[in-house]
Structure 1
Amino acid sequence: MPDVIFPLDSNKPFSDQEKIGHNRWHPEIPPIETLKPGDSFRVDCREWFDGAIKNDDSADDVRDAPIDVVHALSGPFAVEGAEPGDLLVVDILDLGPIPQETGPLAGQGWGYTGIFPKNNGGSFLVDQFPDAYKAIWDFSGDTATSRHIPGVSFTGITHPGLMGTAPSADLLASWNKREGDLIATDPHRLPPLALPPEPNSAILGSLDGEDYRRVASEAARTAPPRENGGNQDIKNFTKGSRVFYPVYVKGGNLSVGDLHFSQGDGEITFCGAIEMGGYIDLRVDVIKGGMETYGVSENAIFMPGRTAPQYSEWLAFSGTSVTLDGEQRYLDSQLAYQRAILHAIDYLTTFGWSREQAFLLLGAAPIEGRFSGVVDVPNSCATVYLPTEIFDIDIAPSASGPGRIDPGMGAPRSANPA
């Protein structure tokens, strides 16, 4: 096993650990450790809300989840010799839930998926699902099952939802400017158009005093993906993946967190993955001058691992860029994917699952989402593929009609507060 360079004690909050991580992006957050090219190491990770979501049958914790605290990131880790303009090479050697522990923290034998309410983050289908719902998933080896969504089980596709390098001061300023300009177009929108810097609840490693206060006022939130990688939520960042990140500051300053036991393409319910704490083993290297050499100036590229679940039979649903009210949109692929998801949800309800159970399932299970046609005006076509082997019953259409499952207790719901 590689050396653990960022250990976490499950009995302590993220901010009370021996080594303190961070939950904002800023070039001045000091690195925890400096590694050499070729080094392999293990990092412990806390789930993104640092234990705020409980293993129970209430969704009040999702409704009231403290968005200001996310994401609990392990790092940063500098790499010797990395300079702006280089590419940082990161190999994902292994990852999984918290080893040999059961308990109240996500990752201790269980994880969760949440539909976030409209006034606290929202979801990909926020207008159709404005309230908070939750599903708890139990882990048995690589398999996930849920008392809140009976009739399904599937192999997890474990991956980090968030990994990336630190921004330069100029890049950070551009983030804050362009996102601030977007917010200004509709400052009271729910969900908000973007999340501006928020000093409240900022965790900034070892910074303190005036440096802490200044950096907290400038540091970018970790919610969206950006040029440095970040919260990309790519389910194919599995064991065996190699990722190439742009380097914007000396050392690169790599951070990682937001581990997922499984996820469908899009993480559509906002925390649509099965969220967990756990460990990740990484190896780092540097390609000198790699950004210019390979034309990688503002994006990460990656080679996916080969450990994804091997499902071979699928049922797929399509959608086009026409709204639920019948309004035609021009090549709106995002809308087309929403419509494909809604068609899959409607279909699954004919077997007995509720709409919320179906939505949660599509966020957590390893579904595949694809933009299938983006050139034929005025309609884009998007598709979502469901692996049929995850269901206890046959979900293919037949002359005998749909079979029925017992939906059990259902997914816990918490209405938005008045």
Structure 2
Amino acid sequence: MTDTLIKVDLSQSAYDNDMIHNRWHPDIPMVAWVRPGDDFIVECVDWTGGQIKNDDDASDVRDVDLSQVHFLSGPIGVKGAEPGDLLVVDFLDIGAFSDSLWGFNGFFSKKNGGGFLTEHFPEAQKSIWDIKGMFTSSRHIPGVNFAGLIHPGLIGCLPSKEMLNTWNTREAELYNTDPDRVPALATLPYGPTAHMGRMQGDAAKSAAAEGARTVPPREHGGNCDIKDLSRGAKVFFPVYVDGGGLSMGDLHFSQGDGEITFCGAIEMAGWIHLKVSLIKGGMAKYGVKNPIFKPSPITPTYNDYLIFEGISVDEGGKQHYLDVHIAYRQACLNAIEYLKKFGYSGAQAYAILGTAPVQGHISGVVDIPNACATLWLPTEIFEFSIQPGADGPTIFDTKGIDVPLAKDL
């Protein structure tokens, strides 16, 4: 029987579990130790620590305290791991808790984090998704049903003190170029809501004041939101502190490439079965600066797609030079406008792109001045045809059904 190294109680505050933390800092104590070759199970709360409820009221998304996130299980030390090594992590299995078979997707209000399309969807909304074995559907978005690819949105090792200082310096420099921007350009250290695991007293307060927030991906891994890190995946993580300090959380039942709604996957609580090993001196041997990933061999099988193109010309018609961010945004907006012709609201269409296994591709970055990005929408997830034809779209009846909206206070 495989040991469960970290257990969580979904009825308990994440702050009361000393095997959970919500900041990156090299001095956070290891909560468990394993040896190379060991396999083990880690349980995780959802990334907000239970702030979002299974109901039809989006006020919890509007009011969520984003300074608390993400709640991560760990850190786990691997005996013999030293700076410069590669920590090899195999994903053996991953799943939802049997007594919590649901997840949520949300759009944050522009004032509280926003999202990829925040100018178009500035108010908080959410959808609830029921987990039925491998598949999911939502009472808020009828007409779709698809297979999930469960994965951790966030997994990585502890940074060294030098790396932490680098993160904080460069992100503060960016933030200070426009400190009044909404949403902010970066999430800087914030001590009052930090949970430093087993650190106590003055040491915990000092570390909390400089601990890096968990929002972005960085050199150590972190919040990469790569949907193909499911069963059978393998990751090679750079090691920066003795023991490595592996932590994880932010589990997703399913996600589209880009996690475009920010709270953009089907967020859930659950468990991960992992196995670890080491490549001594692997960072130098292979020239590794950021993690290397081998994807899961298991993916939802969809063979028919509609592909929406976007170029680096923004909504106002302004030309940008090879801007992939703008091009992908245009591809997403084009897909949303298309789905609206079949009866979906803009919010429902946006939620579909954030949760379903859509593919995002950088299709061209050399043909000046326009980058080309594409969004691949699997047509087989729909319970009706969304193919274009001479007779026009068949309107799917969504009358009286929509993604709950919370007006900003």
TM-score normalised over the length of structure 1: 0.97
Offset, 1:9: 1.8
What RMSD, in angstroms, separates the aligned Cα atoms of the two structures? Answer: 0.8
Q: Secondary structure at the match of 1:91?
A: strand
Alignment of 1:285 onto 2:277: yes
Q: How does 1:363-374 map to 2 (within 5 A)?
A: 363-374=354-365
Distance in 1 separating the partners of 2:339 and 2:138: 17
Distance in 1 separating the partners of 2:226 and 2:19: 26
Runs of 4+ in 1 over 3 A off after TM superposition: none
Which residue, 107, 121, 142 being the options, matches 1:115?
107
Distance in 1 separating the partners of 2:152 and 2:315: 34
Q: Give the conservation status (yes or no) of the 8 Å contact 2:8–2:43.
A: yes
Q: Give the conservation status (yes or no) of the 8 Å contact 1:42–1:279.
A: yes
Q: Give the conservation status (yes or no) of the 8 Å contact 1:117–1:131.
A: yes
Which residue, 198, 206, 210 being the options, matches 1:218?
210
Give the match for residue 308 of structure 2.
317
Q: Secondary structure at the match of 1:370?
A: strand
Alignment of 1:392 onto 2:383: yes
Alignment of 1:148 onto 2:140: yes
Give the match for residue 104 of structure 1.
none
Offset, 1:258: 0.4
Which residue, 362, 366, 371 being the options, matches 1:375?
366
Distance in 2 separating the partners of 1:94 and 1:74: 16
AA at the equivalent of 1:261? F
Give the match for residue 84 of structure 2.
85
Give the match for residue 37 of structure 1.
36
Give the match for residue 50 of structure 1.
49
Q: Give the conservation status (yes or no) of the 8 Å contact 1:345–1:355.
A: yes
Distance in 2 separating the partners of 1:254 and 1:317: 38
Distance in 2 separating the partners of 1:130 and 1:9: 33
Give the match for residue 247 of structure 2.
255
Alignment of 1:65 onto 2:64: yes
* Residue segments in structure 2 that go unaligned for 5+ positions in a row: none
Offset, 1:39: 0.4
Q: Give the conservation status (yes or no) of the 8 Å contact 1:47–1:277.
A: yes
Q: Give the conservation status (yes or no) of the 8 Å contact 2:379–2:385.
A: yes
Give the match for residue 196 of structure 1.
188
Q: Deviation digits for residues 395-416 of structure 1, max 9, x if unmatched? A: 0101111111122420001122
Q: Give the conservation status (yes or no) of the 8 Å contact 2:10–2:50.
A: no
Which residue, 408, 411, 416 being the options, matches 2:403?
411
Offset, 1:259: 0.3
AA at the equivalent of 1:305? S
Offset, 1:11: 2.3
Give the match for residue 205 of structure 1.
197
Q: Give the conservation status (yes or no) of the 8 Å contact 2:103–2:268.
A: yes
Alignment of 1:167 onto 2:166: no
Distance in 2 separating the partners of 1:334 and 1:178: 21
AA at the equivalent of 2:257? D
Distance in 2 separating the partners of 1:129 and 1:9: 34
Distance in 2 separating the partners of 1:13 and 1:406: 41
TM-score normalised over the length of structure 2: 0.99
Alignment of 1:341 onto 2:332: yes
AA at the equivalent of 1:275? E
AA at the equivalent of 1:286? L
Give the match for residue 401 of structure 1.
392
AA at the equivalent of 2:250? D
Q: Secondary structure at the match of 2:112?
A: coil
* Residue segments in structure 1 that go unaligned for 5+ positions in a row: 102-107
Distance in 2 separating the partners of 1:357 and 1:259: 22
Distance in 2 separating the partners of 1:399 and 1:409: 28
Q: How does 1:229-268 map to 2 (within 5 A)?
A: 229-268=221-260
Q: Secondary structure at the match of 1:222?
A: coil
Distance in 2 separating the partners of 1:20 and 1:88: 20
Q: Secondary structure at the match of 2:338?
A: helix
Q: Give the conservation status (yes or no) of the 8 Å contact 2:109–2:118.
A: yes
Q: Deviation digits for residues 123-159 of structure 1, max 9, x if unmatched? A: 0011111111100001111111001000000000100
Which residue, 160, 164, 171 being the options, matches 1:179?
171
Distance in 2 separating the partners of 1:21 and 1:351: 44
